[in-house]
Structure 1
Protein backbone atom coordinates (compact mmCIF):
# COMPACT_ATOMS: atom_id res chain seq x y z
CA UNK A 1 0.00 0.00 0.00
CA UNK A 2 2.87 2.34 0.78
CA UNK A 3 4.30 1.96 -2.72
CA UNK A 4 0.97 2.88 -4.36
CA UNK A 5 0.72 6.00 -2.20
CA UNK A 6 4.24 7.22 -2.98
CA UNK A 7 4.24 6.32 -6.67
CA UNK A 8 3.89 9.36 -8.94
CA UNK A 9 0.96 9.35 -11.39
CA UNK A 10 3.38 10.02 -14.26
CA UNK A 11 7.08 9.31 -14.51
CA UNK A 12 9.32 10.41 -17.40
CA UNK A 13 12.31 8.26 -18.31
CA UNK A 14 14.77 8.42 -21.18
CA UNK A 15 13.97 5.73 -23.75
CA UNK A 16 15.59 4.89 -27.07
CA UNK A 17 13.16 4.37 -29.92
CA UNK A 18 14.38 3.25 -33.32
CA UNK A 19 12.31 4.39 -36.29
CA UNK A 20 12.39 3.50 -39.96
CA UNK A 21 13.10 6.46 -42.27
CA UNK A 22 10.78 6.48 -45.31
CA UNK A 23 12.06 8.72 -48.11
CA UNK A 24 9.25 9.82 -50.42
CA UNK A 25 10.22 10.71 -53.99
CA UNK A 26 6.61 10.78 -55.22
CA UNK A 27 3.46 12.56 -54.02
CA UNK A 28 0.87 10.56 -55.99
CA UNK A 29 -0.76 8.12 -53.58
CA UNK A 30 -1.47 5.46 -56.23
CA UNK A 31 2.20 5.29 -57.17
CA UNK A 32 3.22 5.02 -53.51
CA UNK A 33 0.74 2.19 -52.99
CA UNK A 34 2.12 0.26 -55.98
CA UNK A 35 5.70 0.76 -54.81
CA UNK A 36 4.87 -0.44 -51.28
CA UNK A 37 3.04 -3.50 -52.61
CA UNK A 38 6.05 -4.43 -54.74
CA UNK A 39 8.38 -3.88 -51.78
CA UNK A 40 6.37 -5.90 -49.26
CA UNK A 41 4.73 -8.46 -51.52
CA UNK A 42 1.37 -7.35 -50.11
CA UNK A 43 2.22 -8.69 -46.62
CA UNK A 44 0.14 -6.64 -44.13
CA UNK A 45 2.59 -7.04 -41.22
CA UNK A 46 5.79 -6.78 -43.28
CA UNK A 47 7.27 -4.04 -41.06
CA UNK A 48 5.98 -5.55 -37.79
CA UNK A 49 4.52 -2.31 -36.35
CA UNK A 50 7.70 -0.26 -36.80
CA UNK A 51 7.68 3.48 -36.15
CA UNK A 52 8.28 5.53 -39.30
CA UNK A 53 9.66 9.01 -39.97
CA UNK A 54 8.52 10.30 -43.37
CA UNK A 55 11.22 12.27 -45.19
CA UNK A 56 9.75 14.58 -47.84
CA UNK A 57 12.90 16.51 -48.75
CA UNK A 58 12.56 15.64 -52.45
CA UNK A 59 8.88 16.68 -52.61
CA UNK A 60 8.85 19.27 -49.81
CA UNK A 61 6.56 21.75 -51.56
CA UNK A 62 4.05 19.31 -53.03
CA UNK A 63 0.61 18.83 -51.49
CA UNK A 64 0.22 15.52 -49.66
CA UNK A 65 -2.84 13.68 -48.37
CA UNK A 66 -1.49 12.91 -44.90
CA UNK A 67 -4.50 10.89 -43.75
CA UNK A 68 -4.24 8.64 -46.81
CA UNK A 69 -0.46 8.26 -46.45
CA UNK A 70 -0.77 7.34 -42.76
CA UNK A 71 -3.42 4.75 -43.64
CA UNK A 72 -1.31 3.35 -46.50
CA UNK A 73 1.73 2.86 -44.29
CA UNK A 74 -0.40 1.34 -41.55
CA UNK A 75 -1.65 -1.27 -44.02
CA UNK A 76 1.84 -2.79 -44.22
CA UNK A 77 2.81 -2.42 -40.56
CA UNK A 78 4.39 1.04 -40.53
CA UNK A 79 3.24 3.55 -37.88
CA UNK A 80 3.99 7.09 -39.08
CA UNK A 81 5.00 9.29 -36.13
CA UNK A 82 6.86 12.26 -37.64
CA UNK A 83 7.73 14.11 -40.84
CA UNK A 84 11.19 15.31 -41.77
CA UNK A 85 12.23 18.15 -44.15
CA UNK A 86 8.68 19.43 -44.69
CA UNK A 87 8.08 23.01 -45.83
CA UNK A 88 7.14 25.29 -42.93
CA UNK A 89 3.76 26.10 -44.44
CA UNK A 90 2.85 22.39 -44.15
CA UNK A 91 3.69 22.04 -40.45
CA UNK A 92 0.21 22.95 -39.21
CA UNK A 93 -1.45 20.37 -41.47
CA UNK A 94 1.08 17.72 -40.47
CA UNK A 95 0.51 18.33 -36.76
CA UNK A 96 -3.26 18.32 -37.30
CA UNK A 97 -2.93 14.68 -38.39
CA UNK A 98 -1.13 13.71 -35.19
CA UNK A 99 2.38 13.71 -36.63
CA UNK A 100 5.40 15.48 -35.16
CA UNK A 101 7.91 17.62 -37.02
CA UNK A 102 11.33 16.01 -37.01
CA UNK A 103 13.83 18.86 -37.15
CA UNK A 104 17.08 18.08 -38.96
CA UNK A 105 20.02 20.40 -38.37
CA UNK A 106 22.20 20.66 -41.45
CA UNK A 107 25.78 21.82 -41.33
CA UNK A 108 26.44 25.20 -42.87
CA UNK A 109 28.83 25.17 -45.82
CA UNK A 110 32.27 26.55 -45.11
CA UNK A 111 33.16 29.77 -46.94
CA UNK A 112 36.71 29.58 -48.33
CA UNK A 113 39.01 32.37 -47.27
CA UNK A 114 40.26 34.73 -49.92
CA UNK A 115 43.92 34.45 -50.85
CA UNK A 116 46.09 36.88 -48.91
CA UNK A 117 48.50 39.15 -50.73
CA UNK A 118 51.91 39.89 -49.08
CA UNK A 119 50.68 43.38 -48.17
CA UNK A 120 47.57 42.03 -46.48
CA UNK A 121 49.64 39.46 -44.57
CA UNK A 122 51.96 42.19 -43.26
CA UNK A 123 49.01 44.40 -42.24
CA UNK A 124 47.33 41.50 -40.44
CA UNK A 125 50.55 40.59 -38.64
CA UNK A 126 50.97 44.19 -37.50
CA UNK A 127 47.53 44.45 -35.91
CA UNK A 128 47.06 40.86 -34.72
CA UNK A 129 48.64 39.95 -31.37
CA UNK A 130 50.44 36.65 -30.99
CA UNK A 131 47.95 33.89 -30.21
CA UNK A 132 47.83 32.59 -26.68
CA UNK A 133 48.87 28.97 -26.13
CA UNK A 134 45.97 26.65 -26.86
CA UNK A 135 45.43 23.59 -24.72
CA UNK A 136 44.88 20.30 -26.50
CA UNK A 137 41.22 19.19 -26.65
CA UNK A 138 40.15 16.41 -24.33
CA UNK A 139 40.13 12.94 -25.82
CA UNK A 140 36.82 11.85 -27.28
CA UNK A 141 35.06 9.43 -24.98
CA UNK A 142 35.26 5.88 -26.29
CA UNK A 143 32.01 3.93 -26.17
CA UNK A 144 32.79 0.22 -25.87
CA UNK A 145 30.88 -2.30 -27.94
CA UNK A 146 27.79 -3.90 -26.45
CA UNK A 147 28.37 -7.64 -25.93
CA UNK A 148 25.54 -10.17 -25.77
CA UNK A 149 26.41 -13.74 -24.76
CA UNK A 150 22.93 -15.29 -24.85
CA UNK A 151 20.69 -16.22 -27.81
CA UNK A 152 18.43 -13.43 -29.06
CA UNK A 153 15.00 -15.01 -29.20
CA UNK A 154 11.91 -14.30 -31.31
CA UNK A 155 10.26 -11.02 -30.30
CA UNK A 156 13.42 -9.63 -28.68
CA UNK A 157 15.00 -6.37 -29.87
CA UNK A 158 18.51 -5.29 -28.90
CA UNK A 159 19.87 -1.81 -29.71
CA UNK A 160 23.53 -0.82 -29.31
CA UNK A 161 23.32 2.96 -29.12
CA UNK A 162 26.40 4.81 -30.38
CA UNK A 163 28.57 1.70 -30.66
CA UNK A 164 29.13 -1.70 -32.25
CA UNK A 165 27.16 -4.78 -31.22
CA UNK A 166 28.88 -8.14 -30.63
CA UNK A 167 26.74 -11.26 -30.22
CA UNK A 168 28.30 -14.65 -29.42
CA UNK A 169 25.05 -16.64 -29.73
CA UNK A 170 22.42 -17.09 -32.42
CA UNK A 171 19.92 -14.45 -33.49
CA UNK A 172 16.73 -16.42 -33.99
CA UNK A 173 13.87 -15.91 -36.44
CA UNK A 174 11.65 -13.03 -35.31
CA UNK A 175 14.47 -11.35 -33.33
CA UNK A 176 15.91 -7.95 -34.23
CA UNK A 177 19.39 -6.59 -33.47
CA UNK A 178 20.26 -2.94 -34.14
CA UNK A 179 23.48 -0.93 -33.79
CA UNK A 180 24.62 2.57 -34.64
CA UNK A 181 27.94 0.95 -35.57
CA UNK A 182 28.70 -2.49 -37.00
CA UNK A 183 27.18 -5.81 -35.91
CA UNK A 184 29.32 -8.89 -35.28
CA UNK A 185 27.48 -12.20 -34.81
CA UNK A 186 29.62 -15.25 -34.03
CA UNK A 187 26.73 -17.60 -34.63
CA UNK A 188 23.86 -17.99 -37.14
CA UNK A 189 21.91 -14.86 -38.05
CA UNK A 190 18.31 -15.90 -38.70
CA UNK A 191 16.39 -12.78 -37.68
CA UNK A 192 16.86 -9.12 -38.62
CA UNK A 193 20.11 -7.15 -38.34
CA UNK A 194 20.22 -3.35 -38.85
CA UNK A 195 23.66 -1.71 -38.70
CA UNK A 196 24.46 2.00 -39.06
CA UNK A 197 21.05 2.83 -37.60
CA UNK A 198 21.85 6.55 -37.45
CA UNK A 199 23.11 6.77 -41.01
CA UNK A 200 26.64 5.35 -40.77
CA UNK A 201 27.17 4.05 -44.31
CA UNK A 202 30.53 2.48 -43.37
CA UNK A 203 28.92 0.12 -40.86
CA UNK A 204 28.95 -3.60 -41.65
CA UNK A 205 27.34 -6.83 -40.50
CA UNK A 206 29.41 -9.95 -39.91
CA UNK A 207 28.05 -13.42 -39.17
CA UNK A 208 29.33 -16.99 -39.26
CA UNK A 209 26.10 -18.28 -40.85
CA UNK A 210 23.86 -16.20 -43.09
CA UNK A 211 20.16 -17.11 -42.77
CA UNK A 212 18.73 -13.64 -42.16
CA UNK A 213 15.15 -12.47 -42.69
CA UNK A 214 16.34 -8.91 -43.35
CA UNK A 215 19.59 -6.93 -43.21
CA UNK A 216 20.02 -3.16 -43.34
CA UNK A 217 22.93 -0.72 -43.54
CA UNK A 218 22.18 2.96 -42.88
CA UNK A 219 18.49 2.47 -43.67
CA UNK A 220 19.00 0.61 -46.95
CA UNK A 221 17.70 -2.90 -46.51
CA UNK A 222 17.38 -6.22 -48.29
CA UNK A 223 15.17 -9.24 -47.69
CA UNK A 224 15.82 -12.77 -48.91
CA UNK A 225 12.40 -14.11 -49.87
CA UNK A 226 13.84 -15.18 -53.23
CA UNK A 227 16.76 -17.03 -51.59
CA UNK A 228 20.27 -16.22 -50.41
CA UNK A 229 23.29 -15.33 -52.54
CA UNK A 230 25.56 -18.23 -53.45
CA UNK A 231 28.32 -18.04 -50.85
CA UNK A 232 31.50 -19.98 -50.17
CA UNK A 233 30.54 -22.91 -47.90
CA UNK A 234 31.63 -22.83 -44.24
CA UNK A 235 32.88 -19.26 -44.47
CA UNK A 236 31.88 -16.24 -42.37
CA UNK A 237 29.97 -13.54 -44.22
CA UNK A 238 30.18 -9.77 -44.33
CA UNK A 239 27.38 -7.45 -45.42
CA UNK A 240 28.20 -3.91 -46.49
CA UNK A 241 26.82 -1.01 -48.48
CA UNK A 242 28.12 -0.49 -52.00
CA UNK A 243 26.58 2.66 -53.39
CA UNK A 244 22.85 2.26 -52.75
CA UNK A 245 22.91 -1.55 -52.71
CA UNK A 246 23.51 -4.20 -50.08
CA UNK A 247 26.41 -6.55 -50.87
CA UNK A 248 26.66 -9.97 -49.19
CA UNK A 249 30.00 -11.75 -49.59
CA UNK A 250 32.07 -14.51 -47.99
CA UNK A 251 35.05 -13.62 -45.83
CA UNK A 252 37.75 -15.89 -47.20
CA UNK A 253 40.74 -16.84 -45.11
CA UNK A 254 43.85 -14.77 -45.74
Structure 2
Protein backbone atom coordinates (compact mmCIF):
# COMPACT_ATOMS: atom_id res chain seq x y z
CA UNK A 1 0.00 0.00 0.00
CA UNK A 2 1.60 3.28 -1.08
CA UNK A 3 1.50 6.36 1.12
CA UNK A 4 1.02 9.88 -0.24
CA UNK A 5 4.30 11.72 0.31
CA UNK A 6 2.75 15.04 -0.52
CA UNK A 7 0.26 14.65 2.27
CA UNK A 8 3.06 13.70 4.67
CA UNK A 9 4.92 16.90 3.92
CA UNK A 10 1.83 19.05 4.11
CA UNK A 11 1.30 18.61 7.82
CA UNK A 12 3.77 17.28 10.37
CA UNK A 13 1.06 17.27 13.00
CA UNK A 14 -1.17 14.84 11.05
CA UNK A 15 1.16 12.95 8.69
CA UNK A 16 0.52 9.79 6.70
CA UNK A 17 -3.07 8.69 7.21
CA UNK A 18 -3.82 5.37 5.58
CA UNK A 19 -5.35 5.55 2.09
CA UNK A 20 -9.08 5.01 2.00
CA UNK A 21 -9.76 6.76 5.29
CA UNK A 22 -11.65 10.06 5.55
CA UNK A 23 -9.80 13.33 5.30
CA UNK A 24 -8.39 14.22 8.78
CA UNK A 25 -9.97 17.68 8.64
CA UNK A 26 -13.40 16.09 8.18
CA UNK A 27 -13.03 13.07 10.44
CA UNK A 28 -12.04 15.05 13.54
CA UNK A 29 -14.26 17.78 14.96
CA UNK A 30 -12.93 21.28 15.51
CA UNK A 31 -11.76 21.79 19.07
CA UNK A 32 -12.01 25.23 20.68
CA UNK A 33 -8.72 26.96 21.45
CA UNK A 34 -9.46 26.94 25.16
CA UNK A 35 -10.04 23.17 25.25
CA UNK A 36 -8.14 21.04 27.74
CA UNK A 37 -4.77 19.65 26.65
CA UNK A 38 -5.51 16.35 28.34
CA UNK A 39 -8.22 13.90 27.45
CA UNK A 40 -10.60 12.81 30.18
CA UNK A 41 -11.24 9.09 29.87
CA UNK A 42 -13.90 8.97 32.57
CA UNK A 43 -16.60 10.22 30.19
CA UNK A 44 -16.05 7.40 27.69
CA UNK A 45 -18.49 4.47 27.80
CA UNK A 46 -16.75 1.29 29.01
CA UNK A 47 -16.57 -1.13 26.04
CA UNK A 48 -16.62 -4.81 26.84
CA UNK A 49 -13.60 -7.11 26.63
CA UNK A 50 -11.06 -4.27 26.52
CA UNK A 51 -8.21 -3.98 29.00
CA UNK A 52 -9.12 -1.25 31.52
CA UNK A 53 -7.55 2.06 30.58
CA UNK A 54 -7.16 1.25 26.88
CA UNK A 55 -10.72 2.14 25.85
CA UNK A 56 -9.61 5.40 24.26
CA UNK A 57 -7.13 3.61 21.99
CA UNK A 58 -10.06 1.98 20.18
CA UNK A 59 -10.91 5.39 18.69
CA UNK A 60 -7.44 6.33 17.44
CA UNK A 61 -5.82 5.76 14.06
CA UNK A 62 -2.91 8.06 14.88
CA UNK A 63 -0.95 7.90 18.14
CA UNK A 64 1.84 10.41 18.70
CA UNK A 65 4.65 9.69 21.18
CA UNK A 66 6.68 12.72 22.23
CA UNK A 67 9.81 12.25 24.32
CA UNK A 68 10.36 15.05 26.78
CA UNK A 69 13.66 16.93 26.65
CA UNK A 70 15.55 16.74 29.94
CA UNK A 71 17.55 19.86 30.85
CA UNK A 72 20.09 17.87 32.88
CA UNK A 73 20.72 15.60 29.91
CA UNK A 74 21.37 18.60 27.65
CA UNK A 75 23.77 20.30 30.09
CA UNK A 76 25.75 17.35 31.46
CA UNK A 77 25.35 14.90 28.61
CA UNK A 78 24.25 12.15 30.99
CA UNK A 79 21.47 9.70 30.22
CA UNK A 80 18.42 10.33 32.40
CA UNK A 81 15.22 8.33 32.77
CA UNK A 82 13.14 8.84 29.66
CA UNK A 83 9.70 10.39 29.90
CA UNK A 84 7.11 10.39 27.14
CA UNK A 85 3.79 12.03 26.40
CA UNK A 86 1.39 9.92 24.34
CA UNK A 87 -1.06 12.10 22.42
CA UNK A 88 -3.90 11.89 19.94
CA UNK A 89 -3.94 13.59 16.53
CA UNK A 90 -5.14 16.86 18.13
CA UNK A 91 -2.12 17.06 20.42
CA UNK A 92 -4.11 16.17 23.53
CA UNK A 93 -2.24 14.05 26.05
CA UNK A 94 -3.81 10.64 26.51
CA UNK A 95 -1.10 8.83 28.50
CA UNK A 96 2.20 9.58 30.18
CA UNK A 97 5.13 7.12 30.29
CA UNK A 98 8.13 7.04 32.63
CA UNK A 99 11.17 4.78 32.42
CA UNK A 100 12.41 2.94 35.49
CA UNK A 101 16.05 1.87 35.24
CA UNK A 102 19.33 2.01 37.15
CA UNK A 103 21.57 5.02 36.58
CA UNK A 104 24.61 2.80 35.94
CA UNK A 105 22.74 0.87 33.25
CA UNK A 106 21.53 4.04 31.54
CA UNK A 107 25.01 5.56 31.24
CA UNK A 108 27.16 2.49 30.66
CA UNK A 109 24.77 0.09 28.91
CA UNK A 110 22.55 2.70 27.28
CA UNK A 111 21.32 0.86 24.15
CA UNK A 112 21.45 -2.53 25.87
CA UNK A 113 19.95 -1.68 29.23
CA UNK A 114 17.07 -3.46 30.85
CA UNK A 115 14.24 -1.20 31.95
CA UNK A 116 10.56 -0.97 32.76
CA UNK A 117 8.28 1.67 31.29
CA UNK A 118 5.10 2.49 33.15
CA UNK A 119 2.31 4.12 31.17
CA UNK A 120 -0.37 5.97 33.15
CA UNK A 121 -3.54 7.73 32.07
CA UNK A 122 -4.41 11.31 33.02
CA UNK A 123 -5.86 10.15 36.35
CA UNK A 124 -2.52 8.58 37.33
CA UNK A 125 -3.72 4.99 36.90
CA UNK A 126 -1.11 2.65 35.42
CA UNK A 127 -2.64 1.05 32.32
CA UNK A 128 0.36 -0.39 30.45
CA UNK A 129 3.62 -1.85 31.71
CA UNK A 130 6.48 -2.56 29.30
CA UNK A 131 9.38 -4.78 30.38
CA UNK A 132 12.58 -4.72 28.37
CA UNK A 133 15.27 -7.24 29.42
CA UNK A 134 18.98 -6.87 28.72
CA UNK A 135 19.49 -7.71 25.07
CA UNK A 136 22.00 -7.37 22.22
CA UNK A 137 21.52 -4.66 19.57
CA UNK A 138 23.93 -5.93 16.91
CA UNK A 139 22.33 -6.94 13.62
CA UNK A 140 25.24 -9.37 13.10
CA UNK A 141 24.34 -11.40 16.17
CA UNK A 142 21.50 -13.86 15.42
CA UNK A 143 20.83 -14.66 19.07
CA UNK A 144 19.85 -12.75 22.20
CA UNK A 145 17.98 -10.16 20.14
CA UNK A 146 15.57 -7.50 21.36
CA UNK A 147 12.34 -8.46 23.08
CA UNK A 148 9.62 -6.54 24.92
CA UNK A 149 6.80 -7.79 27.10
CA UNK A 150 3.64 -5.68 27.19
CA UNK A 151 1.16 -5.93 30.05
CA UNK A 152 -2.25 -4.26 30.09
CA UNK A 153 -3.30 -3.89 32.82
CA UNK A 154 -0.09 -4.51 34.82
CA UNK A 155 0.22 -8.21 35.56
CA UNK A 156 -1.71 -9.34 32.47
CA UNK A 157 0.43 -10.06 29.40
CA UNK A 158 -1.23 -8.95 26.16
CA UNK A 159 1.67 -9.17 23.72
CA UNK A 160 5.33 -9.16 22.83
CA UNK A 161 7.58 -7.33 20.41
CA UNK A 162 10.38 -9.63 19.23
CA UNK A 163 13.27 -8.76 16.95
CA UNK A 164 13.90 -11.10 14.02
CA UNK A 165 17.43 -11.54 12.77
CA UNK A 166 18.26 -9.87 9.49
CA UNK A 167 21.73 -8.71 8.36
CA UNK A 168 20.41 -5.62 6.58
CA UNK A 169 16.98 -4.50 7.79
CA UNK A 170 15.58 -3.99 11.29
CA UNK A 171 12.70 -6.48 11.53
CA UNK A 172 10.35 -7.10 14.44
CA UNK A 173 7.33 -9.29 15.03
CA UNK A 174 4.31 -8.39 17.14
CA UNK A 175 3.04 -11.44 19.01
CA UNK A 176 -0.06 -12.03 21.11
CA UNK A 177 -0.07 -13.25 24.71
CA UNK A 178 0.50 -16.83 23.49
CA UNK A 179 3.58 -15.75 21.49
CA UNK A 180 1.78 -16.33 18.20
CA UNK A 181 2.92 -14.04 15.37
CA UNK A 182 0.35 -11.38 14.49
CA UNK A 183 2.11 -8.65 12.47
CA UNK A 184 5.58 -7.72 11.28
CA UNK A 185 7.39 -4.38 11.48
CA UNK A 186 10.04 -3.76 8.84
CA UNK A 187 12.35 -0.76 8.98
CA UNK A 188 14.63 0.80 6.37
CA UNK A 189 18.32 0.06 5.96
CA UNK A 190 19.33 3.57 7.09
CA UNK A 191 17.73 4.63 10.37
CA UNK A 192 19.89 7.64 11.25
CA UNK A 193 17.02 10.00 10.38
CA UNK A 194 19.23 12.80 9.06
CA UNK A 195 17.03 15.61 7.67
CA UNK A 196 14.00 13.37 7.26
CA UNK A 197 11.53 10.99 8.84
CA UNK A 198 12.21 7.26 9.23
CA UNK A 199 9.30 4.91 8.51
CA UNK A 200 8.87 1.39 9.88
CA UNK A 201 6.16 -0.36 7.88
CA UNK A 202 3.60 -2.52 9.68
CA UNK A 203 2.90 -5.55 7.50
CA UNK A 204 1.03 -8.82 7.54
CA UNK A 205 3.02 -11.93 8.46
CA UNK A 206 3.78 -12.74 4.81
CA UNK A 207 4.94 -9.10 4.33
CA UNK A 208 2.74 -8.71 1.24
CA UNK A 209 0.29 -6.14 2.64
CA UNK A 210 1.14 -2.97 4.53
CA UNK A 211 -1.57 -1.98 7.02
CA UNK A 212 0.15 1.00 8.63
CA UNK A 213 3.46 2.42 9.73
CA UNK A 214 5.43 3.68 12.70
CA UNK A 215 7.29 6.89 11.87
CA UNK A 216 10.20 8.41 13.68
CA UNK A 217 9.85 12.12 12.96
CA UNK A 218 12.92 14.23 12.33
CA UNK A 219 12.95 16.72 15.21
CA UNK A 220 15.30 19.28 13.70
CA UNK A 221 19.05 19.76 13.50
CA UNK A 222 19.47 21.50 16.87
CA UNK A 223 17.42 18.92 18.75
CA UNK A 224 19.24 16.02 17.06
CA UNK A 225 22.67 17.42 17.95
CA UNK A 226 22.09 18.49 21.54
CA UNK A 227 19.46 16.00 22.76
CA UNK A 228 18.40 12.40 22.30
CA UNK A 229 14.68 13.24 22.33
CA UNK A 230 12.64 11.53 19.63
CA UNK A 231 9.08 11.79 18.36
CA UNK A 232 7.10 8.91 16.90
CA UNK A 233 3.77 8.50 15.17
CA UNK A 234 1.79 5.25 14.96
CA UNK A 235 -0.52 5.11 11.92
CA UNK A 236 -2.92 2.17 11.99
CA UNK A 237 -6.59 1.45 11.25
CA UNK A 238 -8.83 2.69 14.05
CA UNK A 239 -10.48 -0.72 14.41
CA UNK A 240 -7.19 -2.52 15.09
CA UNK A 241 -7.14 -4.48 18.36
CA UNK A 242 -6.16 -2.18 21.25
CA UNK A 243 -3.77 -4.87 22.51
CA UNK A 244 -1.83 -4.61 19.25
CA UNK A 245 -1.87 -0.81 19.54
CA UNK A 246 -0.44 -1.14 23.04
CA UNK A 247 2.28 -3.43 21.65
CA UNK A 248 3.10 -0.81 19.01
CA UNK A 249 3.49 1.81 21.72
CA UNK A 250 6.00 -0.53 23.34
CA UNK A 251 7.73 -0.97 19.97
CA UNK A 252 8.22 2.80 19.77
CA UNK A 253 10.03 2.76 23.10
CA UNK A 254 12.29 0.04 21.73
CA UNK A 255 12.93 1.95 18.50
CA UNK A 256 13.78 5.07 20.49
CA UNK A 257 16.65 3.20 22.12
CA UNK A 258 17.93 1.40 19.04
CA UNK A 259 17.61 4.37 16.65
CA UNK A 260 19.33 6.58 19.21
CA UNK A 261 22.17 4.06 19.42
CA UNK A 262 22.68 4.02 15.65
CA UNK A 263 22.63 7.83 15.55
CA UNK A 264 25.30 8.00 18.26
CA UNK A 265 27.46 5.50 16.39
CA UNK A 266 27.20 7.58 13.22
CA UNK A 267 28.03 10.81 15.04
CA UNK A 268 31.05 9.17 16.65
- State TM-score, norm by structure 2: 0.23
Larger Rg: 1
Q: Which has the higher contact order (CA 8 A, sep 6+)?
A: 2
